[in-house]
Amino acid sequence: MAETTTASTPESGTTDRSGPWGPWRLRRLRFPSRESWLRSLRRGWIVAGLALLFGALLLGHGLVPNTVGNLGSLLETFLPWLGLAVPVLLVCALVRRSVTALAALLLPAVVWADLFGGLVMPGKGGGPHNLRVLTHNVDAGNPDAEATARDVVAARADVVALEELTEQARPVYQRVLDREYPHHVVRGTVGLWSRFPIAQGRTVDIGIGWPRALRAQVETPHGPVAFYVAHLASVRVGSSGFTSDQRNRTTELLGRQINTDPLDRVVVMGDLNGTANDRSLSPITSGLRSAQGAAGDGFGFSWPSGFPMARIDHILVRGITPAHSWVLPDSGSDHRPVAADLYVR
């Protein structure tokens, strides 16, 4: 008799584990147990505390006092960089598998996005423009002033502001720039070059002892515009904190003159040795609009040139619409040039 072969079947009460939906797979899809959730909530409190700390600094940076080492201004100078804490702490939270830390990270992430998200959104700026301006701290120790001057001319701006002009380098800049810009005014270590006539040019006293700011009225094809070029006093970071008292005094003096300028259309350009977030610059920035903030792509960091960490070189306007703003490549200075296209009505 032929041997009968019978296919084996799972015993009663057992389940085939070879199929794609075997219990071993179903177990992996189960939601964590209550005990697992509780353990996750108990983990990561240090990470959560750091997240809340960074969130509080972002949210309440204006409450950090300047009475001790100007800590408030120091924090505001590098405020955007606090956002780097979010991805770092996110990795820590995931490693710790902490729901508490993940929830706490929402605070710095949301606040940072509210403060700076608009700066990194694509598609800013655009629209009509009829005036291009550029400002550049060319560096008193620049070893190749002529190359820097050629880079400035290549940007094809209509009005150019330069800071840190030395007695030795000034003739070089004049020789190169005068070919494209027939009108210029220089006061001390700052200068303004223009394709259009300059009706007035005078020194602006900011209390330093030598000229580091000027005002000039440029007769553009669209009407007169008051241009201010300024290089405010420097700041120092040392054992005593963020030393900016002299810079703050120069800010107040310059701000008073800008705010009382008789012309409705004003452009302020230069190295202000502080960022737009720094409350100490409010005597200037409160009545003006930042071209980078309104129409720039990204943060527009301009210093130091090798690895820019802060935007201390500014183009600020009143009565004029910014259309686009950008930072130019390294030109041999310790600062990068900053340019903007403006619309003068």
pLDDT tens digits, residue range 261-281?
Answer: 999 999 999 999 999 999 999
- 303, pLDDT greater than 70: yes
153 and 183 share one domain = yes
Q: pLDDT (tens digit, 9 = 90+) per residue, 233-254?
A: 887 665 555 567 788 899 999 9
Is residue 26, in this structure, part of any structural domain at all?
no
Q: Smallest Cα–Cα separation from 275: which of 245, 241, 316, 238?
A: 316
pLDDT band at 125 (very low <50, low <70, confident <90, very high): confident
Q: Is 45 helix (H, G, I), strand (E, B) or coil?
A: helix
290 and 162 share one domain = yes
Reported as type and span, the H/E element at residue 325 is: strand 321-327
> How confident is the model at residue 25, as a pLDDT?
52
> How confident is the model at residue 105, as a pLDDT?
96
Average predicted confidence (pLDDT) for the chain: 88
Q: How confident is the model over 310-334, as a mean pLDDT?
A: 96
Poorest-confidence range of 36-40, 41-45, 256-260? 36-40
**Token match 């050629």: residue?**
150
138 and 194 share one domain = yes
163 and 35 share one domain = no
- 35, pLDDT greater than 70: no
Q: Using the Cα atoms of residue 39, residue 40, residue 46 and residue 48 in order, give the sign of their dihedral.
A: negative
> How confident is the model at residue 123, as a pLDDT?
67
Residue type, 216: A
pLDDT band at 137 (very low <50, low <70, confident <90, very high): very high
115 and 168 share one domain = no
Residue type, 244: S
42 and 99 share one domain = yes
- 192, pLDDT greater than 90: yes
Q: How confident is the model over 126-146, as a mean pLDDT?
A: 95
204 and 81 share one domain = no
Q: How confident is the model over 39-52, as a mean pLDDT?
A: 83
- 127, pLDDT greater than 90: no
Domain end point (choices 85, 120, 155): 120
135 and 99 share one domain = no
pLDDT band at 1 (very low <50, low <70, confident <90, very high): very low
pTM listed for this prediction: 0.84
pLDDT band at 257 (very low <50, low <70, confident <90, very high): very high
What are the helix (H) ranges across the chain? 23-29, 34-42, 45-59, 71-77, 85-96, 99-104, 106-120, 145-154, 170-177, 245-259, 282-285, 291-295
**139, 163 Cβ separation under 8 angstroms:** no
> How confident is the model at residue 241, as a pLDDT?
53
Compare 234 and 111 and report the one with higher pLDDT: 111
Q: Both tokens of residue 301?
A: 């960091």
Bridge partner list, 341: 132, 324
Domain count, the chain: 2
> How confident is the model at residue 97, as a pLDDT?
86
Q: Compute how many other C-beta atoms are within 10 angstroms of the C-beta atom of residue 252.
A: 14
Is residue 16, in this structure, part of any structural domain at all?
no
Full residue range of the structural domain in which residue 47 is found: 31-120
99 and 162 share one domain = no
Q: How confident is the model over 124-128, as a mean pLDDT?
A: 80
> How confident is the model at residue 38, as a pLDDT?
59
Q: pLDDT (tens digit, 9 = 90+) per residue, 206-227?
A: 998 889 999 999 999 999 999 9
- 36, pLDDT greater than 80: no
- The angle formed by the CA atoms of residues 290, 291 and 295, to the nearest 5 degrees, is 120
Ranked by mean pLDDT, which of 180-189, 246-255, 286-295 comes out on top? 180-189
Q: pLDDT (tens digit, 9 = 90+) per residue, 7-22?
A: 444 444 454 555 554 5
Is residue 25, in this structure, part of any structural domain at all?
no
310 and 222 share one domain = yes
Residue 262 sits in a domain of what CATH number?
3.60.10.10
**165, 173 Cβ separation under 8 angstroms:** yes
Q: pLDDT (tens digit, 9 = 90+) per residue, 149-168?
A: 999 999 999 999 999 999 99
157 and 306 share one domain = yes
Is residue 17, in this structure, part of any structural domain at all?
no
What are the helix (H) ranges across 168-303? 170-177, 245-259, 282-285, 291-295
**Distance of alpha carbon 56 from its chain centroid, rounded?**
20
Give every CB contact of residue 340 below 8 A, 6+ residues apart in sequence: 132, 133, 134, 291, 292, 295, 315, 322, 323, 324, 325, 326
Give every CB contact of residue 70 below 8 A, 6+ residues apart in sequence: 241, 242, 243, 244, 280
42 and 189 share one domain = no
Q: Smallest Cα–Cα separation from 198: which of 222, 225, 178?
A: 225
Q: Smallest Cα–Cα separation from 56: which of 116, 104, 102, 119?
A: 104
> How confident is the model at residue 262, as a pLDDT?
96
Poorest-confidence range of 143-147, 242-246, 288-292, 331-335? 242-246
